[in-house]
Amino acid sequence: MVGLAVWLVLAAVTVVVCVAVICAVRRPMRRLLEANSYIVPAGSFYLRTFSVLVFLAALAAISKADAPDTDKAFMEYVWWIVGALQPFFMALGFWLMGYVALLTLLFVVLGRYRD
């Protein structure tokens, strides 16, 4: 039962970090997507896709974590959570870099259509 509780704490920390990243990036991304009138209709699509990708990458990364042993002290559970978050942060970083590359490519292609 303790292993499930610790895994649920891991999932909660992951969701909180995802929401924080999405909130931090959403407003600047919206402004970026509204800079070109050809992208404005697709702006909400890109924002929603970004949110879904961040959550799916996070859940895929933490789903691989094994349940911790039950004979551990409290700090060992904390270190297990921190160790299990490493693949999550790597996946989040890769998805962010990929999404930035996608938006950069989009603006390079549409750069000739300036408002």
The whole-angstrom separation of Cα 16 and Cα 75 is 21
Q: What is the pLDDT of residue 113?
A: 62
What does the domain layout of the chain look like in residue ranges?
Answer: 2-65+73-109
Q: Could you tell me the maximum CA-CA distance found in the chain, to the nearest angstrom?
A: 63
Between 80 and 70, name the one with better pLDDT.
80
Between 52 and 109, name the one with better pLDDT.
52
The whole-angstrom separation of Cα 57 and Cα 72 is 29
The whole-angstrom separation of Cα 86 and Cα 17 is 13
First to last CA, the chain: 59
Q: What is the pLDDT of residue 115?
A: 54
pLDDT at 87 over 60: yes
pLDDT digits (tens, 9 = 90+) for 31-69: 888 877 777 888 888 888 888 988 888 888 887 777 677
Position 76, amino acid: E
Name the average pLDDT for the chain. Answer: 82
